[in-house]
Structure 1
């Protein structure tokens, strides 16, 4: 029942009620955190591939509705939310109410934003009825159905929210430890966030993937995820078996094929990977993920051709493979304009193709996007490494290459790109010293590498040698700082 309010009081009343809800409108999903067109493409692809999984389709409808709202299409948003309600009621039946909490919250917010306060009040009433019918122990305890949908939303919206997704699934599992959907979500969230451990036994991702497979026997994608993670620890026998089982279970699923393609690429079976990925692309031609995987295959194939035998005799084949790589990377950037690491890959290969200015312009756009979108440091490190490679090998500007390898190393020495940056810096320094044993700057580079890695004594030794041959305030300052830290 609507109350008689002044306009300002009415607005305050609804805003207070709405802010207490758990739904897409209250989960801090910012427009700038994601490429909304790409989110829509991925969700629509997911719906097409998951027609048998009605829970996933209903969740996708909810997120599509919110994205449509962000893009200014409130009527389309309303249509998708209504479809979600109908689908949930159809397959959940009497058990649908708690699964509709997020959808009803979104509907309340959407009607509020369109000025339909009667409908807004109606959905607030439905939510009140659900809370009274299913009371929780305290206001801090959320329904697992809500936590689960929140987790899936964070996973699908942006990588910036992966850690929050992990926490949502973890809390949902505390209430329903055997729920297959939350186990799968938690496994995927861990897969995307966990760094490598010293052994597979210590890996929370591997443990959770095994648990998720127990509760999702028919999910072939989880098997491939486990295979990919086991291969990191060289557990190839089990990994190969899992991949074969996944292909037997879902031989035509683009979801399965694209991750199997990634597995084969990692194992060096490039032609097999390319064949599988092309098969998946026939079904989902607008998949930025598959185009990116194909680009990585052609990049690896190009590098193999270049480093095996005389690359002069294989020039035509190298150019053909490079063109394929460029084509697929350009498709990625077209389909997903926020995919900055793919843009960085593309800029690097433009440089290899002697399109220096084109590469430089694209790199500068990437750096600008990283700053504007506040991308994770891992992304910045990858791009700095690529830009250093571009300066070293394509633009032939060693001072800038050294500068950006150093900037890369400052963001972490134990990461994949941090290790590569340190290795390239060391090679530059050692080459220069072999040509000129009195190259003070080269010894300073070695000092910097040791300093960043926490190897203080080696760093001091290198900086002392550097100052023997060159007068540098920076080297002196670093040396003094290191000596003080050892006192």
Structure 2
């Protein structure tokens, strides 16, 4: 038995399917991932449903629900068989591979081998160089979709898969759509960089050319045009999508985001709540609704010239409570939703509850694996909290320094540099002999590439440090 299992395992490792694609996501992200998969199955109108059922089967397996996983694979198999084209056997390879892996994990080796045989026969039919592995655009596309659905850690690999597929089949609507969505997501991640180019603009337009009825792509294009200052052009795509009955829940989501950013908060809330009725567990929707209420607090305060009393104060307090409620729900559904922690903390600050704001920041630092850009942003906002609410210059400087020392160029890093510089200058205005502040200014000018100024401040700091018999290291780990 052991030898047979080893032989089957060697074959399984050669397959291209969800069990071999190394899909990256945290265990805590699984409930949100499953919710998004189920929402897509029910509410997104697309011709490419089999892949999402395959992904659901993989998630069910990870949760220990192997019988439910088998049911999802049966759904995928049925959908593929309805196609009745030459590609249906190739499209089935992923499903058969998942079946083989699933039966292997269930200890049902005969069934695992039966599906391995199906894969082998198809690979032989298409003269694949490997008995258990097909290299073709369709398989690259299937892998790309799986990676795309599993979150930002997988986007670069998804992009590579779709690029490879399109190189072989450039007019394929499915590959074009996947590539456009991937580029949109990557652009969204890079929005904080100094030069956020719209790399997704042309792919989105190309996807619409090949998929003129796909309203999901149209609302993404609308949001990208809004990013680029072409809001009126974007709104035309939004209106066109809203007049279509296809994929309405998704259209309402992104149209709501569009109108929130435009400042039409009542319209945004109406659309977002319509989407929420269909998908009440969506972390995305709770976050967007929370942002609407956050925007309402600013709108009310601005109208009251930032002096809220009486009814204005009550309205602000109500908006703050609603925003907190929805940000909390977003984080319950998706505990790795890092930007939602920042927004939740900001609302606790608005409510004057600094303890809960502090707890929120500590939670995001301790429990989430953050990429550099997100970590940079959280250090900056936590620094702002320390500086303006907690009145701790020392702790604020520590956070700004941490943000700056993450060398990824971004607007957040620039803000951190400016905040750090202002604090150092302010401290020097109170004490011209402050070695730490001179060291910080030297560091700032070094980061800016103004080496002569950096040297000037470092030398001042060194002279003072020598006088104080404290040579070698400056403030908070800043090199002198």
Match of 2:419 in 1: 424
Deviation at 1:29, TM superposition (A): 2.6
Higher relative contact order (CA 8 A, sep 6+): 2
For residues 34 and 212 of structure 1, what CA distance do their matches in structure 2 show? 33
For residues 304 and 460 of structure 1, what CA distance do their matches in structure 2 show? 46
Match of 2:306 in 1: 310
Aligned residues: 468
For residues 72 and 160 of structure 1, what CA distance do their matches in structure 2 show? 24
Match of 1:224 in 2: 219
Deviation at 1:465, TM superposition (A): 4.6
Q: Deviations over 1:174-198 (max 9, x none)?
A: 1111111111111111112233699
Deviation at 1:468, TM superposition (A): 6.1
Match of 1:147 in 2: 140
Match of 1:44 in 2: 38
For residues 425 and 199 of structure 1, what CA distance do their matches in structure 2 show? 22
For residues 90 and 444 of structure 1, what CA distance do their matches in structure 2 show? 70
CA change 1:252–1:54 in 2 (3 A) is closer
Match of 1:363 in 2: 361
For residues 49 and 222 of structure 1, what CA distance do their matches in structure 2 show? 15
For residues 331 and 441 of structure 1, what CA distance do their matches in structure 2 show? 43
For residues 47 and 219 of structure 2, what CA distance do their matches in structure 1 show? 22
Match of 1:3 in 2: none
What are the residue-to-residue correspondences of 1:70-149 with 2, within 5 Å?
70-92=62-84, 95-136=87-128, 142-149=135-142
| 1:474 to 2:455 alignment | no
CA change 1:171–1:307 in 2 (3 A) is same
Match of 1:214 in 2: 209
Contact kept, 8 Å, 1:432 with 1:442, in 2: the verdict is yes
For residues 165 and 274 of structure 2, what CA distance do their matches in structure 1 show? 37
For residues 264 and 460 of structure 2, what CA distance do their matches in structure 1 show? 47
Deviation at 1:108, TM superposition (A): 0.6
| 1:156 to 2:152 alignment | no
Q: Deviations over 1:195-240 (max 9, x none)?
A: 369989x643111111111111111222222222233332334223
For residues 269 and 434 of structure 2, what CA distance do their matches in structure 1 show? 47
CA change 1:141–1:170 in 2 (3 A) is farther
Question: What is the alpha-carbon root mean square deviation over aligned residues?
Answer: 2.7
Contact kept, 8 Å, 1:155 with 1:162, in 2: the verdict is yes
* Between 459-468 and 106-115, the greater mean CA deviation after superposition: 459-468
For residues 159 and 87 of structure 2, what CA distance do their matches in structure 1 show? 26
| 1:386 to 2:360 alignment | no
Match of 2:2 in 1: 8
* Between 415-424 and 78-87, the greater mean CA deviation after superposition: 415-424
For residues 407 and 56 of structure 2, what CA distance do their matches in structure 1 show? 37
Deviation at 1:403, TM superposition (A): 0.6
Determine which of 368, 393, 396 is the counterpart of 2:391: 396
What are the residue-to-residue correspondences of 1:180-259 with 2, within 5 Å?
180-194=173-187, 195=190, 203-250=198-245, 253-259=248-254
What are the residue-to-residue correspondences of 1:18-37 with 2, within 5 Å?
18-29=12-23, 32=26, 35-37=29-31
Determine which of 322, 325, 328 is the counterpart of 1:327: 325
Tell me the TM-score normalised to structure 2 length. Answer: 0.89
CA change 1:214–1:321 in 2 (3 A) is same
* Between 377-386 and 342-351, the greater mean CA deviation after superposition: 342-351
What are the residue-to-residue correspondences of 1:269-348 with 2, within 5 Å?
269-307=264-302, 309-313=305-309, 314-348=312-346
- Give the gaps of 5 or more residues in structure 2: none
Match of 1:485 in 2: none
Determine which of 454, 457, 461 is the counterpart of 1:459: 454
Contact kept, 8 Å, 2:24 with 2:150, in 1: the verdict is no
* Between 417-426 and 323-332, the greater mean CA deviation after superposition: 417-426
CA change 1:434–1:322 in 2 (3 A) is farther
CA change 1:275–1:67 in 2 (3 A) is same
For residues 252 and 179 of structure 1, what CA distance do their matches in structure 2 show? 21
> Match of 1:302, SS?
helix
- Give the gaps of 5 or more residues in structure 1: 1-6, 481-487
Q: Deviations over 1:307-361 (max 9, x none)?
A: 5513333432221221111011011011222223313432343233233333323
| 1:407 to 2:406 alignment | no
For residues 455 and 137 of structure 1, what CA distance do their matches in structure 2 show? 58
For residues 246 and 198 of structure 1, what CA distance do their matches in structure 2 show? 32
For residues 141 and 125 of structure 1, what CA distance do their matches in structure 2 show? 14
